[in-house]
Amino acid sequence: MRVIAIDHGERKIGLAISDEMGMVTTTLPVLQAKKDRDKIEGVVSILKEFNPEIVLIGLPTGTEGEVSVQGEKVEEFSQKLQEECSKDTTIRPFKVVFWDETYSSKQAEKGTKKKFKQQKSDSEAARIVLQEFLDSPDGLVQYQN
């Protein structure tokens, strides 16, 4: 089961993908865009290319597990993305799963050089969230079939 993970940011979208078996994760190039419209177009292009069964979206939460202000923006982006995809018959239907992304960006930057951090950390954060999802008993297993 192929899964694509999204790490939504103000100006960048980090992306990662699993293999068909849902075991190996790989980063994809970071999408650079300021406007939601441009971000959505970029993600739609990736979805058309890889046809995932699940789109995993990192959801920022607060210390008590509540959805943060940034998390609300992520949910709004997700809604717009789903609306756009529902209009396009070339995109296979997929499930959207929100997954707590707390600390994934910090973990992605840990031990990397500044230049790498600036260029790759968003996709590495998406990859970390994806790997956590795949490894979790609450993750991929409950969404299969």
14, burial (CB in 10 Å: exposed 0-12, middle 13-18, buried 19+): buried
Domains observed in the chain: 3-143 (3.30.420.140)
pLDDT given for residue 53 in this prediction: 96
Write down the pTM of the prediction.
Answer: 0.85
Q: Is 34 helix (H, G, I), strand (E, B) or coil?
A: coil
Q: How far apart are CA 142 and CA 42, in angstroms?
A: 28
pLDDT given for residue 74 in this prediction: 94
**Which residues of the chain fall short of a pLDDT of 50?**
104-106, 108-109, 116
Q: Give the largest CA-CA distance in the chain.
A: 43
**Residue 80 contacts by C-beta under 8 Å, 6 or more apart in sequence?**
36, 40
